[in-house]
Amino acid sequence: MITKETTWTNVGPSSNFPLHLGGCVKVGGKQIAIFHLSTEQKWYAVQNFNPQNQRMVLARGLTGDADGTPIVICPLHKYRYALDTGACLTDDQFSLETFPVKEVDGELLIEA
């Protein structure tokens, strides 16, 4: 049986990540885009790499809502991704890896 080992990594004060805008951190060699949406008071973490055109751009995307699903819209070709599942809402051949993220005592932790 293969198990995936993960650990929680402190990526700094949550105040470093402004509401509705993306931030990018590197954890375990992966670039991870982090978003904080006020509508749900929730944090989301997804890969920064957009598989559609293989660019590290999603942390610069626009956030929004698609029929109740929190999304990020890629700044280049406007592909839309669900932040909770990583599913691409524009073309279902693409998807993003998502990561557990939580705020503890003002610090942001990512499991990757």
Interface residues with ligand FES (CB under 6 A)? 50, 52-53, 55, 57, 74, 76-77, 79
**In the bound complex, what is the minimum distance in angstroms from residue 63's beta carbon to ligand FES?**
14
User: What number of H helices and E strands is found in the chain?
Assistant: 0, 12
Give the nearer residue to ligand FES in terms of CB position, either 51 or 85. Answer: 51
Residue closer to ligand FES by CB (options 11, 35) is 35
Q: 43: Cβ–Cβ under 8 A, 6 or more apart, which residues?
A: 14, 34, 35, 36, 101, 102, 103, 108
CA distances from 7 to 27, 28, 76 (A): 10, 10, 32
Q: Which is nearer to ligand FES, 11 or 22 (CB)?
A: 22
Residue 91 beta carbon to ligand FES: minimum distance, rounded to whole angstroms: 9
The DSSP code for 87 is B
> How far apart, in whole angstroms, are the C-alpha atoms of residue 67 and residue 71?
10
- Nearer to ligand FES by Cβ, of 7 and 53: the residue is 53
- Widest Cα–Cα separation across the chain: 41
Q: How far is the CB of 45 from ligand FES (least distance, A)?
A: 18
Q: Least distance to ligand FES from the beta carbon of 43, Å?
A: 22
